[in-house]
Amino acid sequence: MADKDKDNDEVEATIADEAVVIKYKTAGEIANRVLVEIIEKCVEGASVRDVCIWGDNLILEETSKVFKKEKEMKKGIAFPVCISANGCICHFSPITSEPDHVIAKDDVLKIDLGVHLDGFISMIAHTVVVGANADNKITDKKANCFLAAHYASQAALRLMRPGNDTYQITDMVMKVCKEFDCKPVEGMLSHQLQQFKLDGPKTIIQNPSESHRKEHEKATIEANEVYALDVLVSTGTGAARETTAKVSVFKKTEEVYPLKLRASRIFYTEVIQKHSIMPFNLRNFEDEKKAKMGVMECVNHKLIEPFQVLFEKTGETVVQYKFTVLVTATGPARITGLPFEEDLYVPNLSIKDPEILVCLINIHVNKIKLVSLTSLNSLIFTNFTTIYNNLLKTSVNQRGILQPVKKKKKKPQKNANNAAGENCSMDVDQSSKSGVEKMEVDA
């Protein structure tokens, strides 16, 4: 009996368990809320470092409010807040002794963070332009980059289905970016997520080199898996490089080594006690100077892994969208992510490739064929953007599956305005009994 219990304990916790779904979903809701509040702080003249610190504290505050009865549950930051501006690709979250970035008007800010509850991780990243509004729209090359990243992420989401392979997504992201004369950032990875594991065994690579293709083999997406789908797109070559910016975000690995320096041992012990295997920022340590000393030996012997601050060429723009996807038997369920404000962007390029268009407008609801491929092709070439947006408006399903509105009968006693409101309303299909099928994103 004891052996049987032991075997049960070793079974991986997946979204087949409704309790696991609830933890993922709750973490996702917190991530969405925190990101919205961080965006409000990203105004002209603000300090990136100050906003990152504030965001980290908000994650800790929000996670402390949930699952209070489970005293032993670990929860909090799954990835520290990073705000990378313009040509900075990722992982900028400076410590107090390193140069800061003061936010300026028209800065393109990529905001990246993660939240976990009991080790179940929800990741999110979103890109905003400081000061962008109806009177100050983003145009031309920069707008192309935003549309490329957005549509690439949406096409990738629609391919996150059981049975598809990871390189289908890699190739689709590449095709979408080509339509907008942009490049996916080379070698960037979307990771499978598992309990207390940010970098699971399966990855989806974008814009891979030949060596990347050998390192990252094709894998099949399966039901009950979870992914952090991460799309980064550049107006430049897509080649990431390091500069003088210092690394501030690290995470513990599973390597073992007897550290020689006392400062390193003290630092490593604190990492284990406070952060376990979750990424952390050196700012979190009481003595930042000693932490900088201690981390060096740990990195040299691969006990600690750095998240390098990467850059594109000066003058180029990089846009990022990341969301957490639960892969169900019927398709993807997106649990993080903010709306894309397409009205703010005026690109000079658009999607013409029929394969991409069909992927983006891939409608399968209860096996009902809503439009024929022939009529679809004739329509999408006339005005793809209008069709795509109208289709999106018909859906409240955040799984990447468009869903038709259930028409409501007009009631005679209602006036014209109310009737119009009824016709525009959107219903959620609550027929499924499982926790996954009931999920809807609040953001």
Kindly state whether residues 191 and 77 are assigned to the same domain: yes
pLDDT at 11: 82
Summarize pLDDT for 57-90 with one digit per residue, the tens.
999 999 999 999 998 999 999 999 999 999 999 9
Residue ranges, the chain, pLDDT below 70: 1-10, 362-443
- Given 339, 360, 381, the domain boundary residue is 360
Per-residue tokens: 369:
């064929």
pLDDT at 369: 38
Between the CA atoms of 193, 198, 201 and 204, what dihedral angle is there, to the nearest 10 degrees?
A: 70
Q: Within a domain: residue 417?
A: no
Q: Within a domain: residue 160?
A: yes
pTM above 0.85, yes or no: no
Kindly state whether residues 126 and 271 are assigned to the same domain: no
In angstroms, the first-to-last Cα distance of the chain is 46
pLDDT at 144: 97
Q: Within a domain: residue 393?
A: no
Q: Within a domain: residue 419?
A: no
pLDDT at 372: 41
pLDDT at 211: 86
Instruction: Give the domain range for residue 139.
Output: 18-247+308-360
Per-residue tokens: 342:
């397409």
pLDDT at 212: 86
pLDDT at 432: 35
Kindly state whether residues 279 and 163 are assigned to the same domain: no
* Backbone angles phi and psi of 114, in degrees to 5: -145, 150
pLDDT at 441: 33
Half-sphere exposure of 121 (CA within 13 A, CB side): 27
Q: Domain tally for the chain? A: 2
Helix (H) or strand (E) run with residue 331 in it: strand 331-334
Cα 430 to Cα 173: distance, rounded to the nearest angstrom: 32
**Residue 49, domain CATH:** 3.90.230.10
